[in-house]
Structure 1
Amino acid sequence: MTTYTDPVASPAAPHPARSLTGTGLAVLLVAYLPVNMTFGSVNLLEPAITEDLGVSASGGQLVLSAYTTAFAATLVVAGRLGDRFGRRRLLAAGAGAFGVASVLAALAPNLVTLVALRAVLGIAAGLFTPQVLSTIQSTAPERLRALGVTLFAAVSGIATITGQLLAGAVAQTAGDHWGWRLVQVLTGAVGAAALLALRTVPESRSTAPLALDLRGAALLGAGLLLVVVPLTLGTGAGGLAPVLAMLAAGGAVLTVFARSQRAAERRGALPVVPPSVLRTPAVRHGMIMTLLFFTGYGAFLYEFSALSQGTFGVDAWGAVVMLLGFGTAFVVTALALPAVERRTGRWTMTGAAVGQTAVLLSLAVTVNGTHGAPPEALQPLLILLGVSQALMYGPVLRTVLSRTPTWAAGVAGGLFTTLQQLGLGLGVALLGGVFHAAASTTPGGPAAGLPHGFAVAVTVQAVLALAFAFLATRVARAGAGGPEQAGGPEMIPTRPAPGSTA
């Protein structure tokens, strides 16, 4: 069996030389901004990119998927690298590479070069993203840690909105050719600014004797690639058969990965994703809730953009403006979350998920019942949706992090963001497919059927919100304790002593 040691009694358990300060937290949050900024901006600028480079819509999909695929495949392994070699060191390497790749992407002369550089951007973002959460979790004092997680949730929304607004403003000013290129440079400059102030962030690493587990890392990376690529490209990758084949292969590889992780832990080794961490019910439930949340979130943004442009007759910029109320409500609520939770306590996520179910069903009725409601009629519901989502996202993030031992902070940060990317891909691929299938079966054709397709898709998303509420109730009933309350003192896996049974 796996042997454990108490970090307090273990002289090999290093601790950060200093604690994270408010200034260091601000630098970490600025460093995280480009991750969602580049995702939001390129989503909006995809038509301009394809027109400027003279490529088809499938080429635009490759530009998008190169970033998200490389990002998702890097996250968990990068979290482990930060745990072992130092989180600030990985953050500096990732942010520096991101800045350089952003400038080079702005100069890309053709599709092949741009896709390759977008993949490099995804790897760079994957290197530093887990380090932000794990540094907050492992080096911040208790009160600043809670504030850091709250602000991280808010910055996620701020970055997406900022990226889309920046993209729209620059593109309208500079035109299609220079607009998307300037946005790349400006996004990279944000990461460079954080890099210059990185000395304010304390270095930290895991207290566990971490090996790299190269076999596990290779299996995980291959499995995620085989899952994320077909989800991102959809049937544009060559039809349904290749998509299903890749998904089946990805499932098989991930199954082998899971077995290898259990076998490694039984031998007393510490695998890249320790099964013992996932055995904590709150962590396991939190991971599933993360996947449910982002599946619905990704699907909604995709469906509403299509509805806005197809039914309300606005362009991509107009679709962004229509979602400003939603985004602003999300950010404001995320910032106010501590005050809200003082009143609602550990039942915040459950109440928010039930509320989101009601809002989604109301949107379905409003849009479909009037055969395309006017945009202003949807704003109150969109604002309520932003509020409910912020009340779900912040607490589930804190649930995963607070119940994970500090030595596995990088693992938790990597898993959380990996599931975020998988959820976004699943939402667009699966629920987006439901949306278009329902729209195409409506008399009058797909364009006339968009309100009906939207209503069907958000009803499915309401079911996902109910599943989230069910799991949130289980987490709430288990109590609000961290790893200490959940399982006694935090324990670190080590290799078994010579002669012991592995």
Structure 2
Amino acid sequence: MVKNPRTLPADGPAPAPSSPVRAAPAAPGLTGAGLAVVLTGYGLSNMDVFIVNVALSAIGADLHSGPAALELVVSGYGLTYALGLVLGGRLGDAFGRRRLYAWGLAAFTVTSGLCGLAPTIGFLVAARMLQGAAAAVLVPQVLATIQAATEGRARARAIGLYGATAGLSAVAGQVLGGLLVSLDIPGLGWRAIFAINVPIVSAALPAVRRVPATAADHRPGFDPLGTLLLGAGMICLLVVVVEGREPGRPLWLWSLLAVAAGAAVALVRVERSLADRGGSPLLAPAVLSLPGLRRGLAALVPFSVGFGSFLFCYALLAQGRFGLGGLASGLVL
């Protein structure tokens, strides 16, 4: 009986493939130096949310601005930061996270310098909004890089350090900001809280090459209309909150509430339509329907609103009413 030459015995060796298929090279791991670089940018962007609070009284006195304008100095940064996070993440997925991180870090340096050089309160508000947009470009790349370039214990450690950086940078913002304002180095006053970012980020930029280059397997979609509607609604609400408490409120101010409500309704319709067509909505309805996410938002949104309001009011009262300096105000908090 003759065996079929093309049939190997069950216990025989596996044949070598004539044209082996090469596996795609894995992304290089995230080293300690690379992790330090991405956490530096994240820490600075988070610190700048808080560092301004202890300098509000000094900013108001120097630029002759009232509480409403000072609110915009704080909330303007948060507005563009929040609006740009999803877009920044998708840009990193599409064009490379290390590249977008470097661009965001460079933009953060430039906008920090503009904040420190601001001659008027309007200029400072505009520069802060640009600074928030720069932070929105760099911050999403941090967790995305950790996710793509680590696994197992290394990923758990990196995420733990990410969380620690968030907490420590918030505390450092209060204390360091107060220290810089109190020391007045060298005659900069409140401007030093922005100027300090420039040398730190300038030193971190050359080290960005230590961060592994990663990107998404498939280029994600974008949602410019959804972003525009969300931004319009948030800006209208922000203007009403900031200006609505002043006496003699004009009618157009309250009409912004109707504009915000219309933008919200249109946003829901646009996002649902885009999701039904298989697109990539800014706020995916399917994600927002998750019970865990809804419970998380129900807890986080009131806390964030209350905490942000407390920090703003505390800084003005501690320094304006009780006469504490910047450093004492930060240390007390």
TM-score, normalised to structure 1, is: 0.55
Name which of 128, 131, 148 aligns with 1:118: 128
| 1:98 positional shift | 0.8
Matches within 5 A, 1:144-183: 144-174=154-184, 178-183=188-193
> For the Cα contact (< 8 Å) 1:24–1:198, is it kept in 2?
yes
Query: Which residue type is aligned with residue 38 of structure 1?
Result: D
Matches within 5 A, 1:221-240: 221-231=231-241, 235=245, 239=249
| 1:94 positional shift | 1.1
Q: Deviations over 1:252-283 (max 9, x none)?
A: 31332222122112112222333333344334
Name which of 36, 56, 62 aligns with 1:52: 62
Q: Which runs of 5+ in 1 are unaligned?
A: 1-13, 324-502
Q: Does the residue aligned with 1:211 lie in a helix, a strand or coil?
A: coil
Q: Which residue does 1:83 correspond to in 2?
A: 93
Q: Deviations over 1:170-219 (max 9, x none)?
A: 22222796122222111233333332211122222333442223222322
Matches within 5 A, 1:319-358: 319-323=329-333
> For the Cα contact (< 8 Å) 1:74–1:221, is it kept in 2?
no
Instruction: Give me the whole-angstrom Cα distance separating, in 1, the residues matched to 2:318 and 2:282.
Output: 43
Instruction: Give me the whole-angstrom Cα distance separating, in 1, the residues matched to 2:78 and 2:194.
Output: 16
Q: Which residue does 1:193 correspond to in 2?
A: 203
Q: Which residue does 1:41 correspond to in 2?
A: 51
Instruction: Give me the whole-angstrom Cα distance separating, in 2, the residues matched to 1:18 and 1:230.
Output: 48
Q: Deviations over 1:52-89 (max 9, x none)?
A: 22334433333333322222222222222222222222
> For the Cα contact (< 8 Å) 2:56–2:316, is it kept in 1?
no
Change in Cα spacing, 1:306 to 1:67, as seen in structure 2 (3 Å) is closer
| 1:108 positional shift | 2.3
Instruction: Give me the whole-angstrom Cα distance separating, in 2, the residues matched to 1:237 and 1:152.
Output: 44
Q: Which residue does 2:10 correspond to in 1?
A: none
Instruction: Give me the whole-angstrom Cα distance separating, in 2, the residues matched to 1:208 and 1:259.
Output: 26
1:203 paired to 2:213: yes
Larger Rg: 2
> RMSD across aligned C-alpha pairs, in angstroms?
3.1
Instruction: Give me the whole-angstrom Cα distance separating, in 1, the residues matched to 2:214 and 2:295.
Output: 28
Instruction: Give me the whole-angstrom Cα distance separating, in 2, the residues matched to 1:113 and 1:307.
Output: 25
> For the Cα contact (< 8 Å) 1:230–1:237, is it kept in 2?
no
| 1:299 positional shift | 4.1
Q: Which residue does 2:14 correspond to in 1?
A: none
Change in Cα spacing, 1:195 to 1:273, as seen in structure 2 (3 Å) is farther
| 1:99 positional shift | 0.4
Change in Cα spacing, 1:242 to 1:45, as seen in structure 2 (3 Å) is farther
Query: Which residue type is aligned with residue 292 of structure 2?
Result: A
Matches within 5 A, 1:268-287: 268-287=278-297
Query: Which residue type is aligned with residue 226 of structure 2?
Result: G
Instruction: Give me the whole-angstrom Cα distance separating, in 2, the residues matched to 1:27 and 1:138.
Output: 16
Query: Which residue type is aligned with residue 222 of structure 2?
Result: L
| 1:232 positional shift | 5.4
Query: Which residue type is aligned with residue 182 of structure 1?
Result: A
Percent identity, aligned pairs only? 37
Instruction: Give me the whole-angstrom Cα distance separating, in 1, the residues matched to 2:246 and 2:156.
Output: 43
Instruction: Give me the whole-angstrom Cα distance separating, in 1, the residues matched to 2:240 and 2:138.
Output: 25
Instruction: Give me the whole-angstrom Cα distance separating, in 2, the residues matched to 1:183 and 1:307.
Output: 20
Q: Which has the higher helix share?
A: 1
| 1:45 positional shift | 0.9
Q: Deviations over 1:404-451 (max 9, x none)?
A: xxxxxxxxxxxxxxxxxxxxxxxxxxxxxxxxxxxxxxxxxxxxxxxx
> For the Cα contact (< 8 Å) 1:216–1:261, is it kept in 2?
yes
Instruction: Give me the whole-angstrom Cα distance separating, in 1, the residues matched to 2:190 and 2:59.
Output: 7
Instruction: Give me the whole-angstrom Cα distance separating, in 1, the residues matched to 2:200 and 2:242.
Output: 27
Change in Cα spacing, 1:166 to 1:237, as seen in structure 2 (3 Å) is farther
Matches within 5 A, 1:355-370: none
| 1:90 positional shift | 1.6
1:142 paired to 2:152: yes
TM-score, normalised to structure 2, is: 0.80
| 1:93 positional shift | 1.0
> For the Cα contact (< 8 Å) 1:167–1:179, is it kept in 2?
no
Q: Which residue does 2:21 correspond to in 1?
A: none
Q: Deviations over 1:318-368 (max 9, x none)?
A: 332122xxxxxxxxxxxxxxxxxxxxxxxxxxxxxxxxxxxxxxxxxxxxx
Change in Cα spacing, 1:248 to 1:134, as seen in structure 2 (3 Å) is farther
Query: Which residue type is aligned with residue 300 of structure 2?
Result: T
Name which of 88, 92, 103 aligns with 1:93: 103
Change in Cα spacing, 1:139 to 1:262, as seen in structure 2 (3 Å) is farther
